[in-house]
Amino acid sequence: MCGLTGLWGPEIGDERSLLGRMVDAIVHRGPDQQGIWYSETDKIGLAHRRLSIIDLSNQGAQPMFSADGRYRIAYNGEIYNFEEIREEINAHDSKIQWRGCSDTEVLLTAIQIWGLEGSVAKFAGMFAFALWDDLEKRLHLVRDRLGEKPLYYGWVKETLLFGSELSALQTHPAWIGEIDRDSLTLFLRYSYVPTPYSIYKGIKKLTPGTILTLSSSGDKEAIPVPFWDLQSVAMHGIKNPNPQTASELVKDLDLRLRRTIKRQMISDVPLGAFLSGGIDSSTIVALMQDQCDRPVKTFTIGFNEKGYDEALFAKKIASHLGTDHTELYVTPSEAQGVIHQLPATFAEPFADSSQIPMLLVSALAKQKVTVSLSGDGGDELFCGYNRYIWGNNIWNGIKHVPRGIRSLCAAGITSIPPGVWTNLANRLPLLKSRSGFGEKIHKLAALLDAKDHDTLCHRLLSLWFDPASVVLNGREPTVRYISNQKDCGIIDTTLKMMFIDMLNYMPDDILVKVDRSAMAVSLETRVPFLDHELVEFAWSIPLHWKKKDGVGKWILREVLYQYVPRKMIERPKQGFAVPIDQWLRGPLKEWAEELLSENRLIRDGFFNPTPIRKAWKEHLIGSRNRHYFLWNTLMFQSWLQHQGLSS
C-alpha cells in the first residue's frame, strides 16, 4: 500500500523538487521510502511514497523500470496472485532474471510480455497505477475493478496532474481548485462525491475497472476504457444462476472465501483484522484463524453509549476463535476529538459518520500490525442492508394505490411532528419497536408519493431529496445508474439496489472511508469480499439463497455457523456508528452552531441558509432527528474552513 502522484506538461521550473513537494503531501500513505523519476525529454514525472509490505528491500522501490527499459511505473496496491503470475512468466521465459521479490516487478514484467490489457485481466488484487510507455510515449492510468485504491486526475491549464489523493495535486503551484457546485449537490444527497466527479472543477476520479490512455499531456478528450465491468458480471450471474443446491453453495462459498483470505494473508510485515462481531468481519476472522497456526491479531473499538457498542460481541467472537484480541473503549471526548482531523484526512468533503470509529480502530491496529483485513463488501454482495428488503416490501404495498391518495396520506403523516407519533407509539404495547417511531414513519411518508419504484429506491439512497434547492447555483448531474436505474438492465428491485450500491456506494463511501482512515496512520487494509472472482461467483448465487425468510445474508451466515455458534451472531444489525445526533445537541453544539450560523452560510455563499437553519432548529429542540442532513453540511463547512476558503 503506497501513494503515487505525477505530472505531465510544460516545465515551470525545478520539476524534481516540485514532484518531491507533491509526494510529500501524501507521506502518510508511504512513510518507508520516497522515489522520484522525471524525464526532461518528455516532460513527464512520477513520484511515489512506499509502505513496504512485500519485499522490504530496495528492490521493491518505485518508480520502477521494466527490465527492457520501456515502462516506468508508480503503483499503489497489492497483486495477491503475483506468485502465480511469476510462475507463469517463468514458464513462458525461463531466462527471466528477477531483481527482487516484489509484486511490482511481476506486474511490470507481465506487462512487458502480455501488454497492459492482457496483464490486468490476470491481476487479482487492489491497484491504482500510472504507467509510462517510453516507446509509444503514452501514459496509462489504471484503477482496480472494484475501486479499492483511489486515483484522481485532471488538467491545470496544459499540465496533467494525477495522484492518490487531492492533497498531492493541490501542491502544484498552478492549482486553481474551483469548487464544483454541481458536485456539491451530489455530496449533499449521498454524503460523498460520486465517481467520476470530485469536489473540484476539472478534476476527476478514475472509474474503477478502467484504463485511461493519454497520448499527450493535453489529451483532454481521452475516455477511460473498461477492462472489467460490474454490470456485465451482474447480468451474467442473474441470467445464468448457479444450479447447485444450498448445501453445495455453502461449501463452495466456504472454499472460495478460504482461498481468497489465505491469498490476502501473504505479507512480510505483521498482519491482523478488524473485528466488529458482525457477520462479515467474523467470517473473515474465522477463516483467517482456521488457516493460521498462531492467534490472529484482531481489533475492536468500543463505546459506552447504549446502542452503539459492539465491542462485547466482538470479544465473545474473539474468545471463541482464540484470536489475540485488542479492544479499546473510547470516551465521547476522544471520539469527538477526531472530528477536527476529518478535513485533512479525507481531503474532500466526506460525511459518513462511521469515519470516526474507522479512524480510531485504524490507529489502534497500527500499534501492532501494518496490514489489516476488513469485512467490507458482505452487505452489498449478500443482501445485508435492511433497505434492500424494505424497498421491495414498501413498493409492493403501495404500488397499486393511486399516487394522489398516497401523496395525501404522506401530507397527513408529516403534518404531525415525529415526537407526537413516538408518544402515540409508546401507548401501544403491541408495537414491537417504538424507539424513533416518529422518525421512521416520517421517512415512510417521504417514500409514499414516489412516482415509480426507481424513484423510491433513489430516495432510500438519498439524504437531501432536492439538494439543488440547497446549493446556490448548483445543478445535480447524473450518476452511474442511480439517476436512471432502468439503464442498469436489472429488473428485480433488491438486486438492482445491491448492484447500484456496489457500483457507487461501495467505492465512493465505504472504500474511501477505509482507505483514507487507514492510510492516515500508514496502515494497509485488504478487503477479501471484493476479490473479483468471488464477486463474480456471488452474483451467480440466486437471490433466494441470499435473502431467505426475510433475513439477509442467509448463505454467508451458513458459512459462518460452521465456525461460530449461531447464538453469538443472531441479533439485530448494528452499524459501525457513533451518536452524532446526541453529540450535536450536547458537546458539539457550539462547534456546529458556529459552522451553521446564518451569517456564515451567507458569507460563504454556497448554501441557501433557510432549509439548513430550519433543520438545525428542529434537531436542537428535539422535534426531529436531522443529524444526517446536518452532518453533510457540517462536513462541507468544516472542510471549507480547513481549505482556508471560509470567511
Active site residue 2: yes
Global confidence as pTM:
0.94
What's the per-residue H, E or C state across 553-606? Answer: CHHHHHHHCCCCCHHHHCCCCCCCCCCHHHHHHCCCHHHHHHHHCHHHHHHHCC
Q: Which residues in 209-295 belong to E strands, given as ranges?
A: 210-214, 225-226, 271-274
Q: 414-465 pLDDT, tens per residue?
A: 888 887 887 777 777 655 555 667 778 888 888 888 888 788 888 888 888 8
Domain layout of the chain by residue ranges: 2-228, 243-383+502-569, 386-497, 580-642
pLDDT the model gives residue 424? 79
- Residue 207's φ and ψ, nearest 5 degrees, are -65, 135
Check residue 295 and report its DSSP letter.
P
Lowest mean pLDDT among 312-326, 380-394, 587-601: 380-394
Which residue, 363, 355, 287, 357, is CA-closest to 323?
287
Q: 537-570 pLDDT, tens per residue?
A: 999 999 999 999 888 999 999 999 999 999 998 8
pLDDT the model gives residue 257? 98
pLDDT the model gives residue 477? 92
Positive/negative CA dihedral, 256, 257, 262, 264? positive
Residue 473's SS3 state is coil
Side-chain-facing half-sphere of 57: CA atoms under 13 Å: 8
Q: Write down the catalytic residue from 2, 383, 457, 488.
A: 2
In CATH terms, 2-228 corresponds, of 3.40.50.10310, 3.60.20.10, 3.40.50.720, 3.30.300.10, to 3.60.20.10
- Residue 161's φ and ψ, nearest 5 degrees, are -115, 145
- Over 60: is that where the pLDDT of 400 sits? yes
Q: What is d(CA 339, CA 590) in angstroms, rounded to the nearest whole number?
A: 14
375 annotated to a ligand binding site: yes
Q: What is d(CA 556, CA 537) in angstroms, rounded to the nearest whole number?
A: 13
Q: 144-193 pLDDT, tens per residue?
A: 999 999 999 999 989 999 999 999 999 999 999 999 999 999 999 999 99
Whether a cis peptide bond, with omega within 30° of 0, leads into 63 is yes
113 annotated to a ligand binding site: no
At 483, is the pLDDT very low, low, confident or very high (cuts 50, 70, 90)?
Answer: low
> What's the one-letter identity of residue 494?
T
52 annotated to a ligand binding site: no
pLDDT the model gives residue 572? 65
Q: What is d(CA 611, CA 601) in angstroms, rounded to the nearest whole number?
A: 11
CB atoms within 10 A of CB 91: 8
Q: 328-379 pLDDT, tens per residue?
A: 998 888 888 999 999 999 999 999 999 999 999 999 999 999 999 999 999 9
103 annotated to a ligand binding site: yes
- Over 80: is that where the pLDDT of 576 sits? no
Q: 245-288 pLDDT, tens per residue?
A: 999 999 999 999 999 999 999 998 999 999 999 999 999 999 99
Q: Which residues of 436-467 are buried (b: 16+ CB within 10 A; e: fewer)?
A: bbbbbbbeebbbbbbeebbebbbbbbbbbeeb
pLDDT the model gives residue 187? 97
CB 345 within 8 A of CB 522: no
Average pLDDT over residues 30-43: 96
Q: What is d(CA 14, CA 76) in angstroms, rounded to the nearest whole number?
A: 25
Q: What is d(CA 159, CA 639) in angstroms, rounded to the nearest whole number?
A: 26
Per the DSSP assignment, residues forming a β-bridge with 2 are 50
CB atoms within 10 A of CB 236: 13
Q: What is d(CA 379, CA 529) in angstroms, rounded to the nearest whole number?
A: 10
- Over 90: is that where the pLDDT of 411 sits? no
- Over 90: is that where the pLDDT of 226 sits? yes
pLDDT the model gives residue 235? 95
Could you tell me if residue 404 is left (phi over 0), alpha (psi between -120 and 50 degrees) or otherwise beta?
Answer: alpha
DSSP for 306-342, please give it. Answer: TTS--HHHHHHHHHHHT-EEEEEEE-HHHHHHGGGGH
Residue 244's SS3 state is coil
CB 184 within 8 A of CB 606: yes
Give the CATH architecture of domain 243-383+502-569. Answer: 3-Layer(aba) Sandwich (3.40)
pLDDT the model gives residue 392? 80
